[in-house]
Amino acid sequence: MARKKKLSFYLVDDDPIVLDVMAKLLKDAGHAVTTSRKSAGIIGDIVRKKPDCVITDLMMPEVDGLQLCAAVRGHKALKQTKIVMVSAKAYDFDQRRSYDFGAHGFIRKPVNSETFVDKIHRIFDDHIDMRFWGVRGTLPVSGPKSLKYGGNTSCVTLEFPRQQFFVFDCGSGIKNLGDWLKAQHRKRMSFKIFISHPHWDHINAFPFFGPLYKQGNEVEVLGANQGDISMRKIVSAQMEGVYFPITLSEFASRVYFHDLEEETLEVDGITVKTKLLSHPGKALGYRVDYNGRAICYITDNEMFVETSDFYDPHYEKRLAEFVAGADALITDTTYTDEEYQTKEGWGHSCVSKVVNLADMAGVKTLYLFHHDPDQFDDEIDRKYETAVAMLKKRRSKTKCLAPREGQAFKI
């Protein structure tokens, strides 16, 4: 990933090989680099150079990374300087400790030449990487007519600068997510998997998520219980012997569960709000707020048309308040208005209702999501064109996109 702005880095590591590798990667990306194999007595030089970023090893003689971090964070002249820790230590405690001391990032050794610079850029940009792994609903679709948008069911990820990794739903797209992570040789990852509701297209690919079978990974599954059925039971029941040959006990990673209600919670330092949705059973929508930005994941959800006996203006008002001002609204847009006439009560929304919600709530970008399995690429194109035309007619400031499987956005 190339970056236009040239940055200055001060690298501190007593391992000359690692120091040379990091320096070369950053120089090749167009940045200026100063290196030091000693940590003691260098704070004066760091102050004189005022680098954009100090990248320091955690374990060093005389002055360790935490002490150097404290010295940098405590100097008035270095208030704008970011600090990134690199370490061969595999313990989560050391990563948490680094953040407690004021580090902006933590990268484990050995340094991955394919991802190192990208991680550094993410820390500087402070952006959220949002990626779609499956955009369809109900069941996967295959064949030449579904190549543009892909055929996998619901799965969206958010990755944050401090490596927090959120996964929304376990549709068939989560298999590709696991393969992608494996290709990047990622290790000792922590995932938060948010389940919207337990219909099959949102949970049945859970056991195909590769990181579950890797020791050292940690996976927390969060979602709404269904009365007397807990989130753990919902996921494990579909993996009982009659339905599936592998049980929860065979996962190598640490897996645990958290039942949610309509609430606000802090997850890895990020605010997550939940809202009960209009859908059969107990379904939750999610709003993620991070450093002045908001991403809303609202699927599956039915907004009844105004002529319906089930139209509920109070619910739609509360929903609009929930997604108000969001940078990204990923929401159920299963049907065209014409299709919805025969699908009322099926738990999904049509284009005009979604457009109205996004415009009324002042959403910056609307992402059409959860497409009906009977809709192929051409039909989704027309649904997207309809939404764009509706927003234009309303003179709305909301932008509309129809994301494709595998497509990534920076928020």
- CATH number of the domain that residue 102 is part of: 3.40.50.2300
Q: Which two tokens stand for residue 373?
A: 């399995």
106 with 153, same domain: the answer is: no
Residues 6+ positions from 336 with CB-CB distance below 8 Å = 350, 351, 379, 382, 383, 386
Average pLDDT for 29-41: 93
**194 and 266: one domain?**
yes
Of 84, 102, 125, which residue is a domain's last?
125
Q: Are residues 38 and 150 in the same domain?
A: no
> pTM of this prediction?
0.88
Number of domains in the chain: 2
Q: Backbone phi, then psi, for 307, in 5-degree steps?
A: -85, -5
| Angstrom distance (rounded) from CA 92 to CA 233 | 28
**The pLDDT of residue 344 is above 90:** yes
Whether residue 111 sits in one domain with residue 184: no
Domain end (from 125, 152, 169): 125
Euclidean distance between CA atoms 20 and 112, whole angstroms: 13
Cα separation, 356 vs 359, whole angstroms: 5
Q: Do 62 and 144 have their domain in common?
A: no
Residue type for position 218: E
Q: Average pLDDT in the 291-295 region?
A: 95
Domain membership of residue 264 (yes or no) is: yes
Same structural domain, 63 and 134 = no
pLDDT over threshold 50, residue 2: no
Q: What is the pLDDT of residue 89?
A: 81
Q: Classify strands 32-36 and 8-12 as parallel, antiparallel or unpaired.
A: parallel
Mean pLDDT score across all residues of the chain: 93
CB-CB contact of 135 with 377 (8 Å): no
- According to DSSP H, which parts of 53-211 are helical? 65-73, 92-100, 116-125, 173-183, 200-203
Banded model confidence at residue 1, pLDDT cuts 50, 70, 90 = very low
| 331 Cβ contact partners less than 8 Å away, ≥ 6 residues apart | 296, 297, 298, 299, 301, 323, 349, 354, 357, 358, 366, 367, 368, 369, 370
Range in 18-22, 183-187, 366-370, 387-391 the model is least confident about: 183-187
- Provide the percentage of residues in the chain whose pLDDT is more than 90: 79
**In contact, 221 and 235? CB cutoff 8 Å:** yes
Tell me, yes or no, whether 162 and 79 share the same domain.
Answer: no
Question: Is residue 163 predicted with pLDDT exceeding 90?
Answer: no
Is there a domain that residue 339 lies in?
A: yes
Same domain, 144 and 168: yes
For residue 411, tell me if it sits in a domain: no
Residue 4's pLDDT is: 58
CA-based end-to-end distance of the chain: 16
We report the CATH number of the domain holding residue 159 as 3.60.15.10
* Enclosing domain of residue 194: 129-401
Residues in contact with 182: Cβ distance below 8 Å, sequence separation at least 6, in sequence order: 210
Both 78 and 227 in a single domain? no
Q: How confident is the model at residue 149 (pLDDT cuts 50, 70, 90)?
A: very high
Q: Span 185-190, mean pLDDT? A: 85
**Residues 6 or more apart whose Cβ sits within 8 Å of residue 289:** 270, 271, 272, 273
Residue 132 sits at φ, ψ, to 5 deg, of: -100, 125
**173 and 52 in a common domain:** no
What pLDDT, in 10s, does the model give residues 219-253? Answer: 999 999 999 999 999 999 988 888 888 888 899 99
- Flag the least confident range among 7-21, 231-245, 311-325: 231-245
The reply to whether 212 falls in a domain is: yes
Residues 99 and 153 in one domain: no
Give yes or no: residues 139 and 113 share one domain: no
Torsion angle of the four alpha carbons 40, 44, 48, 49, in this order, in degrees rounded to the nearest 10: 10
* HSE of 199, CA atoms in CB hemisphere, 13 A: 18
Condensed to tens digits (0 to 9), the pLDDT of residues 361-401 reads: 999 999 999 999 999 999 999 999 999 999 999 999 999 99
Is 279 part of any domain?
Answer: yes
Q: Comparing C-alpha atoms, which of 141, 283, 110, 258 is closest to residue 192? A: 258
369 within 8 A of 299, measured Cβ to Cβ: yes
CA distance 403 to 365: 11
Residue 17 has a pLDDT of 94
> Residues with Cβ < 8 Å from 170, sequence gap 6 or more?
155, 193, 195, 202, 203, 204, 205, 206, 209
Residues 155 and 169 sit within 8 Å (Cβ to Cβ)? yes
Q: Is the pLDDT of residue 115 over 90?
A: no
pLDDT number for residue 161: 86
